[in-house]
Amino acid sequence: PVLAAIEGDEINSKKGPVFATAIIAGVMAAKKTHELIPFCHPLGLEKCDISIRLDGNKAKVRCRCKVRHKTGVEMEALTGASVAALTIYDMCKALSHDIVISDTRLLSKSGGKQDFERLE
């Protein structure tokens, strides 16, 4: 039922455009990570880009954050992606309760104490 609601690269629900709303929610969440997760520092994000693409019957969410600071920004990116995924769930749950959110993970980071890149 969810895939039937796809129009181009967007899913429209009774609540509105799902992916566009999820991107806004994810950016808002990334900016508030320090309010949600204990011991995270408030960071002035220079950039927070969230992309959502359909891959078969999955919506893949990516969040890229950038900041000039001594600490890494991976928690902001993970929070942004997670809240974007939760927003997709919330807006599509009337279409199906079989939606699964899975595999939230860090793909890469640079800066902070050490750089990291996941080899896939």
As annotated, the active-site residues are 90
- For residue 114, give both structure tokens: 């050490």
Nearest to 63 by CA among 41, 43, 47: 47
Distance CA 118, CA 120 (A): 6
Which tokens sit at 49?
């880009």
Question: What distance in Å separates the CA atoms of residue 1 and residue 10, rounded to the nearest whole number?
Answer: 14
H/E segment holding residue 13:
strand 10-13
Between CA 61 and CA 100, with CA 3 as vertex, the angle to 5 degrees is 50
DSSP, collapsed to helix, strand or coil, labels residue 52 as strand
